[in-house]
Amino acid sequence: MTSLLLKYGERTTRFSVEEAERLTASILVHVAPDGKVIVEAPPKCPLAKVKVAVQKRARWIFQNQDSTKHNVGHPLPREYISGETHFYLGRRYPLRVKVGRSDTTVKLLRGIIQINVPLQDRTLVKRRLKQWYTKRALDYLNRRVELLIGQFNWLSEAPKVKLLAMKMQWGSCSPKGSININPALIKAPRHCIDYVLIHEICHLKEHNHSNKFYVLLRRYCPDWSKTKAQLDNLAELLLVD
């Protein structure tokens, strides 16, 4: 990952460049919920070309950073209308509601969450979006646990992930060995999701917040306190309904 400086008038910000194998020509610019700027570029894309692409989006980048700072402090209730942004895996995606289709579908397509509904009904849009998040969460969280589980030698098989709406927690674990995760976690950045999963997996060995638990947590998630602080700062924004 490469970190570069962006200048726009008297303002500056840093942005990181990540290679994305799925890209062949496009350069994608994202402003994360915490204001960080992440740029995805095709493999071996010249940095000079990346800098030009980012400079062209400079005004948009700083506007989104300003908007992010404002929204974190003053989250508003969702309206579930076109143009509103919703989080998925730590990134904002604009919502597009298309009315008049006989079927009701939700797709993440070319950087937009598109919902097709038969009639203009915000409650229906909210329900379909919630169902989409739930399906995505179950799939993503179980796949992540499968990938992470090889690190933990005290487990012979991956624990089952269940979704459980919680007002004050991102996760918990049951005495039977399953992990309960707040479905809203699917809106958080990937490293925050991994932190919550590792936290709960560690609880399967150490069932309380003893010193042994934190020794274990630090072994598998060295930056856990920093990640937790980031997730705590995002909580109000991610949980707004």
Residues 179 and 93 in one domain: no
Rounded Cα–Cα distance for residues 161 and 145 (Å):
8
Residues 184 and 166 in one domain: yes
The DSSP element (H or E) to which 106 belongs, if any, is: strand 105-109
Summarize pLDDT for 158-214 with one digit per residue, the tens.
888 999 988 778 998 877 788 999 999 999 999 999 999 999 999 999 888 888 989
CATH number at residue 149: 3.30.2010.10
Residues 105 and 25 in one domain: no
Instruction: Decide the pairing of beta strands 11-19 and 37-41.
Output: parallel
Burial of 195 (0-12, 13-18, 19+ CB in 10 A): buried
- Indicate whether 21 belongs to any domain: yes
pLDDT reading at 90 higher than 60: yes
- Indicate whether 79 belongs to any domain: no
Q: Residue 215: CB partners within 8 Å, gap ≥ 6?
A: none
Among 45, 73, 101, identify where a domain stops: 73
Residues 64 and 108 in one domain: no
- Indicate whether 203 belongs to any domain: yes
- Indicate whether 37 belongs to any domain: yes
Among 31, 52, 73, identify where a domain stops: 73
- Indicate whether 78 belongs to any domain: no
For residue 29, give Cα distances in angstroms to 21, 39, 126.
15, 5, 27
Burial of 239 (0-12, 13-18, 19+ CB in 10 A): middle
> pLDDT value at position 74?
54
Residues 164 and 215 in one domain: yes
- Indicate whether 228 belongs to any domain: yes
Residues 231 and 177 in one domain: yes
Residues 40 and 106 in one domain: no
Residues 163 and 116 in one domain: no
Residues 226 and 194 in one domain: yes
**Cβ–Cβ < 8 Å for 44, 21:** no
> pLDDT value at position 29?
87
Rounded Cα–Cα distance for residues 58 and 66 (Å):
12
- Indicate whether 80 belongs to any domain: no
Residues 177 and 198 in one domain: yes
What average pLDDT does range 106-118 have in this prediction?
91
Residues 176 and 125 in one domain: no
Structural domains in the chain (count): 3
> pLDDT value at position 47?
93
- Indicate whether 159 belongs to any domain: yes
Exposure of 226 in the CB half-sphere (CA atoms within 13 A): 6
Q: Residue 200: CB partners within 8 Å, gap ≥ 6?
A: 171, 172, 173, 179, 180, 181
Alpha carbon 208 to its chain centroid, in Å, reads: 27
Q: Is the pTM of this model over 0.75?
A: no
Residues 149 and 221 in one domain: yes
* Interior/surface letters 122-144, b for 16+ CB within 10 angstroms, e for the rest: eebbeebbeebbeebbbebbbeb
> pLDDT value at position 124?
92
> pLDDT value at position 33?
62
Range of the domain at 124: 85-132
